[in-house]
Structure formats: C-alpha cells, structure tokens
Amino acid sequence: MEYRKLGNSGLQVSLAGLGCNNFGMRIDAEQTRAVVHRALDEGITLFDTADIYGNRGQSEEMLGRALGNRRHEIVLASKFGMAMGDGPYKTGGSRRYIMGACEASLKRLGTDYLDLYQIHQPDPATPEEETLATLDTLVRAGKVRYLGNSNYAGWQVADAASIAKTSLSGSVRRTALSQLRLSSSSQCI
C-alpha cells in the first residue's frame, strides 16, 4: 500500500481509504467485520464514517466493534452536522450540537479520540466563528486531532480561513488556520 500525507499535516494515510457509509444499511455486522479486516490486511489505514451513516449511528457502532483492539492501526475520520433527529438541537454547527455529537460518536466508535473530525456540510444558521472555536475546544481537549470539512465549496473554505484570521484569537486562530489548510487540500475517499 502507498501512503501519503493528509493535506499539509504530518499525518500519514493510505492512498486508498475505506468509506464506511454502507455499514448498518447495506451490509450487516458480520459483513462489516469482514470488510474492515480485509481492508486492514490490505494496508488501508484511512477509515471514513459519519454520525448520520447507517441510519443515524449504526455505521460508527459497527465500525467500532469491528475494529476492536485494532483501532490504533488506523486513522479514524468521522463527520457531524447532518440531521440526527427532529428539532433544532440535532443538527448543524452550533457549539451545543458539536459537543454532544462528538461525545456520541466517540461512544459509538468505542474510542476516546478521533483522528479527523469534519463538518459534513455548511451550516448557514451558525456563525462560522462559533463552529471554529468549538472545534478548537475539541482539539485542545484531546478528543480530536485534526479538523476538516466535507461538501464545502472553495469559497466557503476561503471564507472560514478569513474568519479565523480576522476574528479568532491566539491559539484558536492558529489551530483553525492550520486545519483549514489541511481540509482544503485533502479529500477522504
């Protein structure tokens, strides 16, 4: 397997990654385990899931169980931001939602940290400053190691970088800017 840096970071990932969106929907727990173990045996290290996958959480649960004690062999990526239920508090990029979504993903995955945590889609209802500051809080707490985004247009990444540069203070700005550069130059498979 060939390995490359993820974006501008020092994090090495396999050239091929495993998208886990079918875990809990099209394939069951036994099939998930077989796919995960085969991917590991082939040298795949990037595993990409989301809280919404597998009918709201089953992908993360199945992936966590299938990995078991091999969790340390991979780069685990998950995403948040799409509706995990009805009502205003189960979606988006607000501090309230992100903090709860991260804790729930960690529990489902059976781990105490995520290697890469990505906002799944832009949230126009939440100020970008709030989203970026909350993600920085998760990095500082050791729950998340790298940040990214999914389904953002180039201008949205540039806008977030500008906000981080002009509106956030000190280490929040440094973390957000370095992570935005990472996310804008990388794509999870």
pLDDT at residue number 168: 64
Sign of the torsion formed by the C-alpha atoms of 183, 111, 56 and 96: negative
Contacts of 158 (CB under 8 A, 6+ apart): none
Lowest-confidence region among 7-11, 91-95, 115-119, 161-165: 161-165
**Tens digits of per-residue pLDDT, 69-88?**
999 999 999 999 999 999 88
**Torsion sign, CA atoms 145, 126, 107, 172:** positive
Residues 105, 119: contact at Cβ < 8 Å? no
In one letter, which amino acid is 35?
Answer: V
Confidence of residue 164 (pLDDT cuts 50, 70, 90): confident
Question: 175 near 5, Cβ under 8 Å?
Answer: no
If you average pLDDT over every residue of the chain, what do you get?
88
Say which of 53, 97, 117, 152 is annotated catalytic. Answer: 53
At 177, the pLDDT band (50, 70, 90 cuts) reads low
Question: Is 146 among the residues known to form the active site?
Answer: no
Q: Which tokens in the block code for residue 36?
A: 């995960």
Domains of the chain: 3-184 (3.20.20.100)
User: pLDDT tens digits, residue range 14-53?
Assistant: 999 999 999 999 999 999 999 999 999 999 999 999 999 9
Specify the 3-state DSSP secondary structure of 157: helix
Mean pLDDT of 100-116: 97
